[in-house]
Amino acid sequence: MFRLRLAPLRAAVVLAVGFVLLRVVYRVVFGGAGVGLDPVLLDLPRLRLDGPFSHMTLFGPITLLGLGNAALSALPVAAVIVFFGLLNAVINVQSLFARGAGRGPLRAISRSLVIAWATFPALLESVRRVRVARALRGERSIASLLVPVFEQTIERALALAASMETRGFAATRAVPGVCEAPVVLTGAGLSFGAGWHLDDLNVTLEPGTLTVIVGATGSGKTSLLHSLSGLFQHFYDGVQTGRIDIAGADRASTPPRDTAGFVGLVAQNVRLGFAAETVHDEIGFTLAVRGVAPPIVHARVLEVAARLKIEHLISRPIEQLSAGEASLVAIAAALVNHPILLLVDEPLADLDQSARARVCTVLGQLAHEAGVCVVLAEHNTHEFAGTADVWLQIRGSRLHQLSPAEFQFADVLEIPALKPIATLPAVPLASIRRLSVRHAADLAVDDVSFEVRAGELIALRGSNGAGKSSLLRAIALPTAADTVIVAGHDVQTLKRRGRRRAVALVPENFDDLLFAITVAEECRRADRGLQLPKFAGTATLFAQLLGFDATTDAAHLLERHPRDLSAGERLCLVIAIQLAARPALLLVDEPTRGLDQAARALVSAALLTAAGHSAAVIFATHDNNFARGLATRTLRMAAGRLSAPIEVLT
């Protein structure tokens, strides 16, 4: 519970200083900061407002004593901020709240305290992410920060609350689980208002089986999974009819926190649901909430970490995990409780090939050796061909239960064959020269050099943590001169608009690049930044990427909120936004993550379109089929370096 971390204290000091400065500026703007006969430092003209604000006066004389009094009035609040920063630096406050979740006076408000304590760092992280996204889009307006920062902060708070709910945080009773009947759905129905619904659900899943839920993007796989965890009924306000029994508990009347002792859940976006600061505390969080003795928690954490081969991550801070490492930690956190039912939402989305094989093996062993009922939703079905016992396929509003012999696999993406580049241009389109990236003390990208020619589609491959995402971001936003040269220009020296015409990045978290509340406004915003006529650029390109003949055919999508689109449609929207400037080099990080085959086909067509206009595309992916079908060349990274470095002439 006790440790020393200087980062929270530094952040608190910065915030406290910022508050003091804000208070001083407030006093200067509203009435000046002049006191008595003290010498005037600056005599600003007084401006009296009109109408209902006639009692207010802006500016006025500024004296040294007035500035001092303004700063002094802010010190009590600043001291409180520094105090809480110091408290967070020496005490693991979230762990303290977790220990109070099961008993004592903090039990009733402990979840609110943890969410509140985590929200401020999440707010700062959202500001950082949106500032990067704003740079990637070439935005300058401060107002562009507001909508995405607000959305991301709320999303983090809701995901954290859902995570704590499924892990038994502040539970008042523990419901015993019946191992013989993990999942029984009898005449059940699920719906959200007048929109999505699933009807006539009659499914029985036995212990010791592995079940895979499949269906198109947006078909309701996650909602079906959450109906088993209880989040659908008790957290997301979904409507259940009929009966759903989970290990003997009636899900309609039993909230997730009361079944946390025998139901484990791995959510789709695992980072949002992390409740602890280190990997060790995150894996052991559920046991700590239940009041298990620390030595037992530690032993169980080491046991499950060894099973997933992530012992080297135990002491690492959560924020330093790669996407794939975060997925493995989330799976470990769900396994630590030895659940009867394990629910996993797209476990392979962020994993490299070795990690995929490891997770598939572990899930298969849990089902067939440990007797756990494992239910997962997944687009990458081929990896489970030899281990799945039951396939549940969503078609429309119906759920079809299929045996392994009946299920038809469709993992191989059919992409039109690419014509080989007959003659590569003599001069490369882009040159990456001795590019390196550091994250604190770690060297994420180490002296990388290679060349790119027009028309190429380059697949960037490598294991989790190899440095692929760091490399793409450094190419898009270089910090050192003469390291990224595109079309003869040093990207580091280019201004906002020129940089977007040279190189554009679609990051792995592509939702970060969506700033507006409708798709149409997103398109107009992109066009304004590039000085394009209304609907002549981005909206037209978006419609084309989705296969529509005209922009009017996509009118029903243009009026939606961007987050109401399917994952594939949102990714095509972000690609259209980044392609609107017609960049010479397009970078895309994990373009198939969480997409079904139809959405992958849309994305592959979009990347082919991008490479077909004397441009080039580099995409990082763990998807073997996608890379083999699309790439004209493959670069492999390991430990921050290209496995076969390419000499680049300067």
In sequence order, what are the residues at sequence separation of 6 or more whose Cβ sits closer than 8 angstroms to the Cβ of residue 347? Answer: 266, 327, 331, 359, 363, 376, 378
Cα separation of 607 and 619, whole Å?
A: 9
For residue 305 the two structure tokens come to 């970490």
Cα separation of 127 and 369, whole Å?
A: 46
Q: Residue 262 in contact with residue 177, Cβ under 8 Å?
A: yes
Q: Residue 191 in contact with residue 183, Cβ under 8 Å?
A: no
For residue 33 the two structure tokens come to 């900061």
Neighbours of 413 (CB within 10 A): 18
| Predicted local confidence at residue 356, as pLDDT | 82
Cα separation of 304 and 310, whole Å?
A: 9
> Which residue pairs from 495-498 have beta carbons closer than 8 angstroms and sit at least 24 positions apart in sequence?
496/138, 496/140, 497/138, 497/529, 497/530, 497/581
Strand order in the sheet with 430-439: 442-452, 430-439, 484-486, 489-490
Cα separation of 421 and 419, whole Å?
A: 6
Q: Residue 28 in contact with residue 62, Cβ under 8 Å?
A: yes
| Predicted local confidence at residue 408, as pLDDT | 64
Of 155, 111, 108, 107, the residue nearest 129 (C-alpha): 155
Which amino acid is residue 92, in one-letter code?
N
Q: Which helix (H) or strand (E) holds 458?
A: strand 457-462
Q: Residue 121 in contact with residue 311, Cβ under 8 Å?
A: no
Helix 597-611 and helix 538-545: axis angle, to 10°? 130
User: Dihedral (C-alpha) 512, 513, 519, 521: value to the nearest 10 degrees?
Assistant: 120
Question: Could you please report the per-residue DSSP string of 530-571?
Answer: HTPPTTTSHHHHHHHHTT-SSGGGGHHHHTS-GGGS-HHHHH
Q: Which helix (H) or strand (E) holds 126?
A: helix 110-137
DSSP E strands: which ranges in 322-403? 341-345, 373-377, 390-395, 398-402
Neighbours of 4 (CB within 10 A): 8
Question: Could you please report the per-residue DSSP string of 267-307?
Answer: -SSGGGG--SSBHHHHHTHHHHHTT--HHHHHHHHHHHHHH
User: Dihedral (C-alpha) 412, 268, 232, 287: value to the nearest 10 degrees?
Assistant: 130
**Hey, is 354 helix, strand or coil?**
helix
| Predicted local confidence at residue 3, as pLDDT | 63
SS3 sequence, 187-236? EEEEECCCCCEEEEEEEEECCCCEEEEECCCCCCHHHHHHHHHCHHHHCC
Cα separation of 510 and 512, whole Å?
A: 5
As beta bridge partners, residue 212 has 376, 391
Q: Residue 216 in contact with residue 598, Cβ under 8 Å?
A: yes
Of 380, 446, 426, the residue nearest 213 (C-alpha): 380
Q: Residue 97 in contact with residue 110, Cβ under 8 Å?
A: yes
Q: Residue 258 in contact with residue 251, Cβ under 8 Å?
A: no
As beta bridge partners, residue 587 has 505, 618
| pLDDT tens column, 372-422 | 999 999 887 788 888 889 999 998 889 988 877 776 655 444 554 444 444
User: Dihedral (C-alpha) 388, 390, 395, 399: value to the nearest 10 degrees?
Assistant: -150
Cα separation of 347 and 268, whole Å?
A: 8
Of 155, 157, 71, the residue nearest 112 (C-alpha): 157
| Predicted local confidence at residue 229, as pLDDT | 94
Domains contained in the chain, CATH given: 6-166 (no CATH), 183-402 (3.40.50.300), 430-642 (3.40.50.300)
Cα separation of 390 and 90, whole Å?
A: 49
Residues of the chain with pLDDT under 70: 1-5, 7, 35-38, 51, 53, 92-122, 140-145, 170, 194, 323, 407-427, 529, 531-536, 613-614, 644-650
**Look-up of token digits 């809480």:** 84
As beta bridge partners, residue 197 has 191
